Amino acid sequence: MKQRGRSQPVFQNPTLIGALTVLVTIIAVYLAYQANNGLPFVPTYDLRVQIRNASEVTRGADVHMGGSLVGVVNTIQATRDAAGEPIALLSLKLKKSIQPLSVDSLFTVRLKAAIGLKYLAIIPGTSKQVWQDGATVPVTQSSATVDLDQVLSMFDPPTRVGVAATTIGFSNALAGRGGDINDAISAFVPLFKDLGPVARNLSARTTDLGGFFRGLGSFAGAVAPVSQAQANLYGNLDTTFRSLATVAVPYLQDWITQTPPTFSAVISDSPRLQSFLTDTAGLFAELRPGFATLPASAPVLADAFAEGARNLPGTIALDQQTLSLSEHLAAYGAKPVVQQGLSRLTLTASDLRSPLQFLTPVQSSCNYVTLVLRNIASTLSDPVATGTTLRFVIVAIDDVLGGESVPSHQVYTTPQPDPNAAHGPLHANPYPNTNSPGQTPECAAGNEKYSPSQFLIGNPPGNVGLQTEHTTAPG
């Protein structure tokens, strides 16, 4: 019987070893090729970021956060934003360890070296809202740094000539002034000491200096659409100032010279002008209702002025006669006799001021003058064949001991219990109150209550008020 030979070990088979070597090589090449896109079968946190300028950002570029590599740029696509502006859309594959990112996180394209590749830097935010896997970060959360070549491109030949000339000018200005510069630096020492508290206040969280610059940026963005209008404004100002330059000397120069004394005079006179300003403010406050009617009354006034302007030429003869009359009156008023007469009239008016002030409330408050004239007219209001008759009633007073119809050493004050009797206690008010200065503010005449049981001499007790009978124009 033939003995079976010993089998070879698996790893000593040349064919199998060669096949495994080829397989490992293929896997290594595949992993090397896919290294820039992340290792296969490793879960990632995917985001898409919109960015205005992705120049020189390549597929496979690094994504850093806080100095650490946290992912790569998978793809770069050209697209447009909601306004139709061209932008770049970066697809990121990030480590799961940084998921999720706050929605206020910032994405900035930065240079990886002085000249060359770029990477995407993530500045994490603090918001509680986060970007979910597969979300798209808007362009407002991204930015890009200025490339060095762009910075250097601004130094074109005219700029280089200007910089050289400026440098030479500065060198000439500083030549021989080393001592003055040293003195200036020495004088700056207290400034920098005082600058410390200012810097601390500016860097404080409550100061929100960053908010100031963000607001300044928003203001600049708001002004940008009207930049052409602003440029036109400065052009027009240039025209204005060129016109003013022709009168700068001596007119503007004299005006500027007189300005400080004018301000000093205003400052010194302001306390005395306070009452005038207060009265002026009160005047305008009272005129405000009249000003409110101007939109409706202005057209009427304009028509009236226009009509007056059309009629003025026809009044030339009247104006000339008025002027002649005024000249004759002026000559007449200059005569000594007329001056003496005017002085007497002035004196008479001055003497009548107090009585008129006393008697004015008789009519203005109590309407007594109008009532007397109306009553006088009403006595002649009954017509007869030959005109009108006088209406009156004879008041008959019977003879009672001590009464008004017989001599007596005192007024009759005896109460009369019989209301039908022809006599009773005296009621007399020779000086009634008429709301005149120094009197009780009432209209007592005609408002006294008659009492058959009690006499009344003078004004009634209490205040009867300012009510009297109203008069109206005849209809």
The CA-CA-CA angle for residues 84, 86, 91, to 5°, reads 115
Is pLDDT above 60 for 247? yes
Looking at the fold, whether 95 and 189 belong to one and the same domain comes out as no
**222 & 130 share domain:** no
Do both 216 and 121 map to the same domain? no
Whether 135 and 215 map to the same domain: the answer is: no
Q: If pLDDT is split at 50, 70 and 90, which confidence band does 31 have?
A: low
Ordered alpha helix ranges (H), 175-293: 178-203, 209-223, 227-245, 253-292
Could you tell me if 187 and 101 lie in one domain? no
pLDDT (average), residues 145-160: 77
Q: What is the pLDDT of the chain when averaged over all its residues? A: 81
pLDDT at 235: 87
List beta partners, residue 457: 428
Q: Judge if 111 and 222 occupy the same domain.
A: no
What's the mean pLDDT in 269-298?
87
Q: pLDDT tens-digit profile of 318-356?
A: 888 999 999 998 888 889 998 998 899 999 988 988 888
Evaluate if residue 138 carries a pLDDT over 80: yes
Tokens 């910075």 sit at which residue? Answer: 151
Q: What is the mean pLDDT of residues 360-370?
A: 87
Q: Which domain holds residue 440?
A: 357-380+399-475
Listed residues 227, 246, 265: the one ending a domain: 246
- Residue 177's SS3 state is coil
Residue 27 contacts residue 33 (beta carbons within 8 Å): no
- Total of domains in the chain: 3
* Cα dihedral 458, 461, 462, 463 sign: negative
Mind listing the pLDDT tens digit for each residue in 192-233? 777 888 888 888 888 888 888 888 888 888 888 888 888 888
**Residue 35: pLDDT above 70?**
no
Strand pairing report for 427-428 and 456-457: parallel
Question: Are the C-beta atoms of residues 57 and 89 closer than 8 Å to each other?
Answer: no
Inside any domain, residue 455: yes
**Which pLDDT band, with edges at 50, 70 and 90, does 275 fall under?**
confident
Q: What is the pLDDT of residues 99-119, one digit of tens each?
A: 888 889 999 888 876 666 788
Q: Name the percent of the chain lying above pLDDT 90.
A: 4
Residue 126: name the closest of 106, 155, 140 by CA. Answer: 106
pTM for this structure? Answer: 0.33
Question: Does 41 score more than 60 pLDDT?
Answer: no
Band the pLDDT of 1: cuts 50, 70, 90: very low
Residue 461 in domain: yes
